Structure 1
């Protein structure tokens, strides 16, 4: 049995760390650094596109692997397995509710869709805050917990070492190093997780025995007159009661779709990988590869977490606060140690080192993605507005400095993570997303599908949603969920409304306003505004043309009326050349003709957007296959 101390920051592992384990970890780190150096040498890192977008020359397979690795950090390895141990397979819905990635930057798209700067600045600031206080915190806690359980290393030492190695090749190599090392780490994660899953299923006699064994996994020390020590009767079902279920089917169907749309269609970490693709076809193929990989976590992470409860109920399923504190150092429960407990107890020497490398890979891949994407957001969306005259050298330097600052903030955040209720961390992250994501998703969808939506309605709708979300989050912090045996005395807003249901409650804001459809304005290039315009609304229609190049484009689809530097291109540094439309000219002045150079550039843009018919069909067929697999799995486990 392991003994823990919530303040000491170290545990004594039940299995000793062997020389073979050390050799495997050293080989992994050496290979990881070598791949990072090789990938950084392939791309010109001294340009904005080279550092932040990997030269826009990435093939589909590293993009798909990076999408998967970025979404499967150590937080999800620990969190998914722990939630599976505590409540069964319903958490799989967070993995299977995946949307195709749209290769656009939400901040810049919404700015070009509505005009002004304040929406873009707000979304960039929100993304930075979420990165530091939710994504990085989850990965740091989970990675440190795994190292503690498996190796007995000091929390601070192990976390700082991983942060230093991760930060070094992120700062040095940019997005290219991140994506290629993600590809390597995906291979290691998948192979290691499959080996552990096979070993775990063999311990219980195979999959047919899982449900029966799980329902009997009860700790020996319980809290009298309670049922919280009993496994859920619906543990093997994805769809659960909308009132009494821990993950109600209504929230997992509708509320989670809102959160998934925000993450997979607008989150900077995800979008940046698609923007690095060499063509639209490679971006689509990368998304499809990631979608195939996302079908695996149920079988290689969540079910092994359930098996961990079966094999070690007194530790993984503990409910008595004193017992839990003795086992894992936190009184709210020890389900988060389910996956590392399996690694320590089941894996032989050498393979144990491989699984430790897997978790380090998950941690590092997620952190590198967050560091690179966050530095991109700050540099391109905030610093560039504060210093419009900044050159490429300054922007590259700022991007690297921001990464260093994020690393420092992460280290400072460690004591707060250690004192947090570790058993609730994964739920906390999902809850925060449900509070802050719905307004962004609503604005994004309305911007795409409702031409009458305008900037003032979008901005104040975001502000209204932010106030509602922060109010709910504040109540959660003041009134945490009660422990086993303690009556639930929280306000009805917390006790009776699940956070996934709360995500569904954000309606289109009544503050939406619209111009008549005939006056719809479409931006055709991005001008750099002065500092006074950052948080101000767009100018009135008559004065707008003198400050930002706009054009009346009522008869042209917005999807065709964007230049390479306009609505869909990631950075305003690219030369602005309007794209010709199918039904009319998209020139800055109605009726004017573009020079031949612009026409040539536009033709090149259209050519780059074209897909070879054969590979377009391959992508479409695989998308249909994925939908069929998803529907079958939902029906089978419903």
Structure 2
């Protein structure tokens, strides 16, 4: 890999100066109440909402991992990147219910629709999951990226990035997060877009690249009997995970709740869906380009995950290389900032405020800041543990969401679509779901010591996509059966929170919140998704 030169460092320096300027501007604004600190005063426009959704999703491990999938014959993983249509579900289906309920957090919505027990379970579970997966993986991957790009050691890169991100998240709150993410999204898209164009020119165009890797390499659809990516289970489980991640997870939904109104929030999700189409071309294709150049003996790297940084450092001119390096740093920082802010929101609104309902607004904001600092410290403490874990567990962490998503997706979907679903059904499903998810993770870790002909080995060895699909069906049945065997929910638990109970006034308000333009762009997004699915069929 080539090291960064003076022009590259100037680009990185300018990026950080702009970032510091945005944070100072935000900190000077009023942040005295929880709505302002955690939801940016609910006054953000659609462009910033959409850019923030995209930037939150794209972390440095995401960029590196997706390029690695392109370079490492794991093209079926592409299906997780063309879920723009699921992002549309957030704006068209879920957001109106969230906005009407006036909630800050997803656990808070569960309490309004069901009861406090569901809220507590989702709050605590989400915080633990964020700290152990999102934060640790992002810091670990980010440390490697920073070390490789800037030529500094892993620890310096990881800690500097965490501390810098932590500082602006603590002082600026959600407003700092969404505005810095907008800048970061723009830089990342421009930088990676230029790399894709230069890379394709370098390999002699798309057809020349396809000839080198073979057309079958670009096939995201494997047979239903494929041991790794059977296509029916791939489609079903990726959709379940997609609905959980894009439509019910605090990390993403919090961005739409910052919007001025439903109209701006929905337009933000439509813009976010358009941006979500980009990773295929910005990160996956560079991975295939890197593989092409490696097969031709023009590029060298040890593992597929190194494809993006190596390609970037070798192909891009001076100055531009620094801009893309800044973009990668931006991706890392935006992901971390989003998690830090989401964790502090969950802790303050769902746990601290519940324990101390009379706490003044200023104290709640201060608690959110302290919670962010604690999460930053835990994240740093977790680095050496992550650093000692092999790459196998890093891959393994990607599977974990297939076990986390089914119970949460089932409860939210049924809660919104079926008014007969009650608190007991939601509570039992969440508790049983978490136990089953933990049980599957343990079985997967110890399956080597189990009897190969036994049921426990079968459950631990089952393809994670097949397991996710069957687990979701189990959660749906469990929620429905428990709900039907217990008392129906009261009227205040369903009115305006489920389909079929929306008042005429709310229906009229929702109808006036979109136009033919919103519908047309949404249809175009879905058409592009279908087009990508057809294009990557290896023919």
Q: How does 1:521-536 map to 2 (within 5 A)?
A: 521-523=490-492
| Post-superposition offset of 1:243 | 2.2
Instruction: Name the CA shift for 1:409/1:421 in 2 (closer, same or farther; >3 Å).
Output: same
What does residue 451 of structure 2 align with?
Answer: none
Match of 2:32 in 1: 46
- Label 1:394 to 1:343 Cα distance change in 2 as closer, same or farther (>3 A): same
Query: Where does residue 505 of structure 1 map in the other structure?
Result: 470
Bigger relative contact order, structure 1 or 2, given CA contacts below 8 A and separation 6+?
Answer: 2
Tell me the residue number matched to 1:476.
Answer: 444
Q: Distance in 1 between matches of 2:324 and 2:439?
A: 41
- Contact 2:23–2:168 at 8 Å: present in 1 too? yes
Q: Which moved more, 1:336-345 or 1:258-267?
A: 336-345
The total of aligned residue pairs comes to 512
Give the Cα–Cα distance (whole angstroms) in 1 for the partners of residues 457 and 72 of structure 2.
Answer: 25
Q: Cα RMSD between the aligned structures?
A: 2.7
> Partners in 1 of 2:253 and 2:109 — Cα distance?
12
Q: CA deviation at 1:479?
A: 5.1
Using the TM superposition, give the Cα deviation of residue 97 of structure 1 relative to its aligned residue in structure 2, in angstroms: 2.1
Please tell me whether residue 418 in structure 1 is matched to residue 387 in structure 2: yes
8 Å contact kept, 2:169–2:177: yes
Residues 409, 378 of structure 1: alpha-carbon distance in 2 compared, 3 angstrom cutoff? same
Distance 1:631 1:467, change over 3 A: same
The residue correspondences of 1:70-469 to structure 2 (distance < 5 A) are: 70-98=56-84, 99=86, 100=88, 101=90, 102-103=94-95, 104=98, 105-115=105-115, 117-215=116-214, 234-244=216-226, 246-312=228-294, 334-422=303-391, 425=394, 427-469=395-437
Q: 1:414 to 1:109 in 2, by over 3 A?
A: same
Larger radius of gyration between Structure 1 and Structure 2: 1
* Deviation at residue 257 of structure 1 after TM alignment: 0.7
* In 2: Cα distance, 1:114 partner to 1:315 partner: 60
1:19 lines up with 2:6 in the alignment: yes
Matched with 1:34 is: 21
What is the alpha-carbon distance in structure 1 between the residues aligned to residue 142 and residue 525 of structure 2?
A: 31
In structure 1, the residue matched to 2:512 is: 611
The residue aligned with 2:102 is none
In structure 1, distance between residues paired with 2:483 and 2:408: 18
Alpha-carbon distance between aligned partners in 2 of 1:185 and 1:455, rounded to the nearest angstrom: 41
Q: Distance in 2 between matches of 1:516 and 1:373?
A: 36
TM-score (norm: length of structure 1): 0.75
d(CA) in 2 for partners of 1:518, 1:137: 42
Deviation larger for 307-316 or 289-298: 307-316
Decide whether the 8 Å contact of 2:218 with 2:536 is kept in 1. yes
State the match for 1:493 in structure 2: 459
Cα-to-partner distance string for 1:24-51 (whole Å, 9 max, x where unaligned): 1111111111122223444x21111100
**TM norm structure 2:** 0.89
8 A contact 2:27–2:172 mirrored in 1:
yes
Aligned-pair distance for 1:429? Answer: 2.8
Q: Distance in 2 between matches of 1:402 and 1:317?
A: 45
Q: Distance in 1 between matches of 2:107 and 2:255?
A: 16
